[in-house]
C-alpha cells in the first residue's frame, strides 16, 4: 500500500505526459497533497475549482436518479487533459485524484489505466 506522497510521485513518474497531480477532498475543496504544477498553473486553485465539477456532476446524477458511480471525469483543453478519478473503498470516499496531462505527450487510455492501478494501491 502506498501513502499519499508515494502515490503522487508514482503518478508523475509512471504516467507519460503527467505534469501535475493532486489528492483532493471534494467535501471541503482542500488538496490533501499536490505534486507538480508551475508558476503559471496553480495546482491548489485548480484542485479546489474541480471540486465544483465533481459536486455538480454528483448533484445532476442524483436529480436524474442515476444509480451509477463516477469512475472518471475528463476535461480536454487545447494542450492539456485534466483527469478526475473519484476514489472508492478503504477510506477514499469523498476524495479524488486530479491529474493534469500534456496532451501532446500523453496516452489517455494508458493514463486512465495507470491512475486506476495507483488508486488501488493508495492507502488513505
- Residue-wise pLDDT for 60-78, tens only, equals 999 999 999 999 999 999 9
Q: Which of 28-32, 36-40, 76-80 has the highest mean pLDDT?
A: 76-80
Q: Which three cell numbers stand for residue 27?
A: 467535501
Show the domain range for 102: 4-121
CATH number at residue 70: 3.30.450.30
| H, E, C per residue of 29-75 | CEEEEEEECECCECHHHHHHHHHHHHHHHHHHHHHHCCCCCCCEEEE
Q: What is the mean pLDDT of the chain?
A: 91
Percent of the chain with pLDDT over 90: 76
Q: Are 3 and 91 in contact (CB under 8 A)?
A: no
Number of domains in the chain: 1
Give pTM, 2 decimals: 0.92
Q: What is the pLDDT of residue 83?
A: 97
Q: Is the pLDDT of residue 99 over 90?
A: yes
Cα torsion angle, 9, 118, 11, 75, sign: negative
Each residue's pLDDT tens digit, 8-28: 998 889 999 999 999 999 999
Amino acid at each position: 500500500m502506498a501513502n499519499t506522497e508515494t502515490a503522487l510521485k508514482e503518478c508523475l513518474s509512471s504516467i507519460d505526459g503527467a505534469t501535475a497531480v493532486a489528492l483532493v477532498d471534494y467535501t471541503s475543496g482542500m488538496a490533501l497533497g499536490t505534486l507538480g504544477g508551475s508558476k503559471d498553473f496553480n495546482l491548489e486553485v485548480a484542485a479546489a475549482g474541480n471540486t465544483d465539477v465533481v459536486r455538480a456532476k454528483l448533484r445532476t446524477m442524483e436529480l436524474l436518479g442515476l444509480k451509477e458511480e463516477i469512475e472518471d471525469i475528463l476535461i480536454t483543453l487545447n494542450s492539456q487533459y485534466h483527469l478526475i478519478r473519484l476514489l472508492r473503498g478503504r477510506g477514499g470516499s469523498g476524495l479524488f485524484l486530479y491529474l493534469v496531462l500534456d496532451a501532446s505527450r500523453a496516452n489517455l487510455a494508458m493514463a486512465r489505466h495507470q491512475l486506476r492501478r495507483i488508486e488501488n494501491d493508495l492507502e488513505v
